[in-house]
């Protein structure tokens, strides 16, 4: 099994500001944690981060035939991107949406997610552990 882990805009800035919301750990720390979760779950993986909506769409398209599932934190594109939603629908791979923060308890504009219209599961407000839950779901729950 092979999972694609996608991270959207500004997640590469983790740990630099707003530690009260996103914690003190860096994006490199997040990647190390994801690597550990995937190893523990026994799955191959690739992590991709981009600040560009088009690059994320292209990466989702390229996942077709090469990956068995997608874990995606679309970051701000969560709330705006029909293009990412359409790309997920186009490839038809099982997908889990992850948010580090509890988006439901923040600003009104963070409450709606286009990606949630496709994702089988959404994990919010659990920090890095949300990625572990998503990976475990795809490896041992949804897929086998």
Give the x/- contact pattern for ligand CA2 in 21-40, rule: CB under 6 A. -x------------------
Piece of the chain touching ligand CA2 by CB under 6 A; list 16-24, 28-36, 44-52, 135-143 = 16-24
Biggest alpha carbon–alpha carbon distance for the chain? 39
Give the x/- contact pattern for ligand CA2 in 97-116, rule: CB under 6 A. --xxx-x------x------
> 27 an active-site residue?
no
Counts for the chain of helices (H) and strands (E), in that order: 5, 5
Distance (Å, whole) CA 85 – CA 20: 29
User: Would you say 43 or 122 has its CB closer to ligand CA2?
Assistant: 122
* Of 144, 137, 59, nearest in space to 95 by CA: 137
């Amino acid at each position: 099994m092979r999972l694609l882990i996608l991270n959207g805009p500004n997640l590469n800035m983790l740990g630099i500001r707003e530690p009260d919301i996103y914690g003190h750990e860096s994006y490199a720390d997040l990647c190390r944690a994801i690597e550990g979760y995937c190893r523990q779950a026994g799955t191959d993986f690739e992590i991709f981060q981009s600040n560009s909506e088009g690059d994320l769409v292209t990466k989702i398209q390229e996942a077709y035939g090469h990956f068995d599932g997608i874990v995606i934190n679309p970051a701000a594109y969560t709330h705006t991107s029909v293009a990412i939603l359409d790309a997920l629908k186009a490839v038809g791979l099982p997908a889990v949406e992850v948010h580090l923060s509890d988006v439901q308890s923040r600003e009104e504009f963070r409450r709606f997610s286009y990606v949630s219209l496709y994702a089988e599961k959404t994990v919010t407000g659990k920090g890095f552990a949300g990625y572990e839950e998503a990976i475990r779901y795809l490896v041992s729950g949804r897929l086998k």
